[in-house]
Amino acid sequence: MVYDIIACIGLTFILKYGSILSVFRSALARIHPVIDDLFKCSLCLGFWAGAVVCYVRDSDILLPLVSSCVCWFADALIGILQHYEIKLEKDNKR
């Protein structure tokens, strides 16, 4: 199940931040605003990534819920780290 969760995190980050998929994201976002919101929310996207991985790997039925929580936490942690990285770069330039 650890590999499944790591796969969900990777899939969520690739779908949300991957530059190669920006054309795909913008095309889907034009279809309906809810889809645009989906690609902006790591909690939501993590759930659906978990559902896909659960279906493909025939994993535990709770994987989408666990994936949603872990993907949200990982995205928040990366955001905090990036915030401190930018702050350190600004402090070093002074």
What gap in Å lies between CA 88 and CA 94, rounded to an integer? 10
Q: How much helix, strand and coil, in percent to the nearest 5, is found in the chain?
A: 85, 0, 15
The pTM (predicted TM-score) of the whole model is 0.85
What gap in Å lies between CA 14 and CA 2, rounded to an integer? 18
Q: Tell me, what DSSP letter sits at residue 59?
A: -
Q: What is the pLDDT of residues 27-60, one digit of tens each?
A: 998 998 899 899 999 999 999 999 999 999 998 8
Identify whether the C-beta of residue 75 lies closer than 8 Å to the C-beta of residue 9.
no
Q: What is the pLDDT of residues 6-27, one digit of tens each?
A: 999 999 999 999 999 999 989 9
What gap in Å lies between CA 87 and CA 80, rounded to an integer? 11
For 3-28, give the DSSP string: HHHHHHHHHHHHHHH-GGGHHHHHHH
